[in-house]
Structure 1
Amino acid sequence: MITTLSNATLSASIKHKGAELYSLKNHENQQYIWEGDPAFWGKHSPILFPIVGTLKNNTFTIDGKKYQLPRHGFARDMEFQLIEKTENSATFSLLATAETLLNYPFEFELQIIYTLEENDLVIAYKVVNKNNSKLPFSIGAHPAIALPGDFESYAFEFEKEEKLTFFLLENDLISNTTKTLETTKNVVPLTFELFKNDALIFKNLKSKSLSILKNSKPYVKVDFEDFPSLGLWTKDQAPFVCIEPWLGYSDTTDNSGDLFEKEGIFILDAHQTFDAKFSITIL
């Protein structure tokens, strides 16, 4: 099933599977979300929960007991329930099931709320801890922004001037090797060479927004005030780039395996609620 929202400027469509943003168009019918061609990458904007990235050996431990989770967790592959809908907003909910409890032994509710506001699509996350104990989790976004035409006519523009140090992956885990992006007035031209070693992973950024420029003109902006980390990714020759606000990231190569000790993990107290949001603005 697909739910569609609209306002005077934009329309957005969300698949109930994974509560995944499927389409974001202006009223000239220009598409800003990647179409999901499996020849490159068969997704559009998956939710990453209850982990972001990859666990060492796809395994974690709680109180010494081993559990397994696939890359980016399970929420993106599950059917969400639409629990509230207006013309310009929709709220989707996912509850723990007997199946999820086998691999992630915690009761939770995950809500994803989409709201169109003028030129913005605001995507809010709500995580409810339904346990009498603490809930360890990570959560992240993975929107793929469609880049029609020449990939190298686009550029990133970071909000603030800063040293853009990112971490390299080693067998899908965060290594201790870093590199620094060269910028000119906070601008980084896009090339496929940038992504030759997979995603660029920034653990902490001063910038809380990132714009895509097309031929030096504003195209799309992603604001991520509530997220400390960011991933940037594409596939070779693919006409899209992912701007990924994250709370957490892959295991480090020296990770102990204990989920409560995982670098970047968020620990939510019993019966508490976590809220965060980011937005995609059409410029």
Structure 2
Amino acid sequence: MITLKNAALRVTVNELGAELTSVRDIESNTEYLWQADPLFWGRHAPVLFPIVGRLHNDQYQFNDHTYHMTQHGFARDQDFLVTSQSQTSVTLTLKDNDETRAQYPFSFQLDVMYSLLERQVSVEYRVVNPGHEPLLFSIGGHPGFNIPMGATTGTFKDYTISATPAQLYPSLTLAGPFSDVENPTTINLERPLQLNHNLFEHDAKILELGQQETTLTLTSNLNERGVAMTLQNADYVGIWSPFPQKAPFVCIEPWWGIADAVNSDGQLEHKFGIHQLVPQSMFNADFSLEFF
């Protein structure tokens, strides 16, 4: 386990999955990150790669071969190598190996970088294509945040998520685990969205961002604790908490990619929201978390 620390925050990162596992306020000892209680959801903030969401039948076709891959891909269960580290930053790296190539026949390098500056944790995903063919991939984050935060006895309904810019956002719904791309809708974030568990009866709420810089702020009127996620260039952001469990956390998930469309033909190159990276090039996906 890796520990990063400055005057305000102590952060831990697991080499398994390059997963953020704790963000704790040093002065108050407030833990902001969900602590992976398996009764509800046994992860903290997994990295989603090389897919986001679910594939039809957990499989896809590429170059006349069928490959099996479960929801959100394999990176979250792979051991990363620490390739750079200081007191306030770390870079963890995953490269293709025999296990990944059995599911995903591409050469790749994935760097996950965390850095602290005052009360902010900056996160960068860097995908490198070292091969000679285009690299087809999606990537995303899945951090969960405790509700309530800090010394309070509040409930899920005491929390809101507000957006900057405050506007009507195009939205995709899920039909089962798949993207219903033929029936887009909207989510009104002109005013803060009050959380309640029934919001997630049909899975995540998904905003289409179109790489517009957007900040989502999770907070309540119970105290001054909260977190603001700023997405620099994300395609989508999902908001999720498990249903029908009344879980004491919510995830705000930056995505560069999304679950298979309802009518997917299973061909990876046709996958809805897939990114294509030309040989010998690099893709950057960035977001930051401000804890207060």
Q: What range describes the TM-score normalised by the shorter chain of this pair?
A: over 0.9
| Residue 220 of structure 2 corresponds to residue 214 of structure 1 | yes
2:260 is paired with a residue whose SS is: coil
Shift of 1:258: 1.4
Shift of 1:207: 5.7
2:198 is paired with a residue whose SS is: helix
Shift of 1:213: 1.9
Identity %: 35
**Residue identity in the other structure for 2:247:** A
Kept after mapping to 2: 8 A contact 1:160/1:186: no
Query: For residue 204 of structure 1, what is the aligned residue in structure 2?
Result: 209
Shift of 1:65: 1.6
Query: For residue 7 of structure 1, what is the aligned residue in structure 2?
Result: 6
TM-score, scaled relative to structure 2: 0.92
**Residue identity in the other structure for 2:158:** S
Give me the whole-angstrom Cα distance separating, in 2, the residues matched to 1:181 and 1:269: 34
Give me the whole-angstrom Cα distance separating, in 2, the residues matched to 1:271 and 1:165: 34
Give me the whole-angstrom Cα distance separating, in 1, the residues matched to 2:186 and 2:247: 23
Structure 2, unmatched stretches of 5+, are: 149-153
Q: 1:225 aligns with which of 202, 227, 232?
A: 232
Shift of 1:134: 0.3
Query: For residue 151 of structure 2, what is the aligned residue in structure 1?
Result: none
Give me the whole-angstrom Cα distance separating, in 2, the residues matched to 1:132 and 1:195: 42
Kept after mapping to 1: 8 A contact 2:169/2:208: no
Query: For residue 160 of structure 2, what is the aligned residue in structure 1?
Result: 155
Query: For residue 130 of structure 2, what is the aligned residue in structure 1?
Result: 130
| Residue 177 of structure 2 corresponds to residue 172 of structure 1 | yes
**Residue identity in the other structure for 2:192:** V
Kept after mapping to 2: 8 A contact 1:181/1:188: no
| Residue 87 of structure 2 corresponds to residue 80 of structure 1 | no
Shift of 1:168: 2.1
Residues 46-81 of structure 1: CA deviation (Å, up to 9, x unaligned): 000000001111111112221111100000011111
**What are the residue-to-residue correspondences of 1:113-124 with 2, within 5 Å?**
113-124=113-124
**Residue identity in the other structure for 2:264:** N
| Residue 277 of structure 2 corresponds to residue 268 of structure 1 | yes
Query: For residue 197 of structure 2, what is the aligned residue in structure 1?
Result: 192
Residues 74-102 of structure 1: CA deviation (Å, up to 9, x unaligned): 00011111111100001101110011111
Shift of 1:218: 6.4
1:99 is paired with a residue whose SS is: helix
**Residue identity in the other structure for 2:277:** L
**Residue identity in the other structure for 2:13:** I
Shift of 1:39: 0.4
TM-score, scaled relative to structure 1: 0.95
Give me the whole-angstrom Cα distance separating, in 1, the residues matched to 2:202 and 2:14: 31
Kept after mapping to 1: 8 A contact 2:21/2:33: yes
**What are the residue-to-residue correspondences of 1:217-256 with 2, within 5 Å?**
219-235=226-242, 236-256=245-265
Give me the whole-angstrom Cα distance separating, in 2, the residues matched to 1:231 and 1:220: 16
Q: How many residue pairs were aligned?
A: 281
Give me the whole-angstrom Cα distance separating, in 1, the residues matched to 2:156 and 2:100: 39
**Residue identity in the other structure for 2:5:** S
Give me the whole-angstrom Cα distance separating, in 2, the residues matched to 1:207 and 1:111: 22
Q: Larger deviation: 171-180 or 20-29?
A: 171-180
Give me the whole-angstrom Cα distance separating, in 1, the residues matched to 2:18 and 2:24: 18
Give me the whole-angstrom Cα distance separating, in 2, the residues matched to 1:71 and 1:179: 24
Shift of 1:182: 4.2
**Residue identity in the other structure for 2:279:** A
| Residue 98 of structure 2 corresponds to residue 91 of structure 1 | no
2:269 is paired with a residue whose SS is: helix
Shift of 1:223: 0.6
Give me the whole-angstrom Cα distance separating, in 2, the residues matched to 1:124 and 1:101: 24
2:100 is paired with a residue whose SS is: helix
Give me the whole-angstrom Cα distance separating, in 2, the residues matched to 1:182 and 1:188: 8
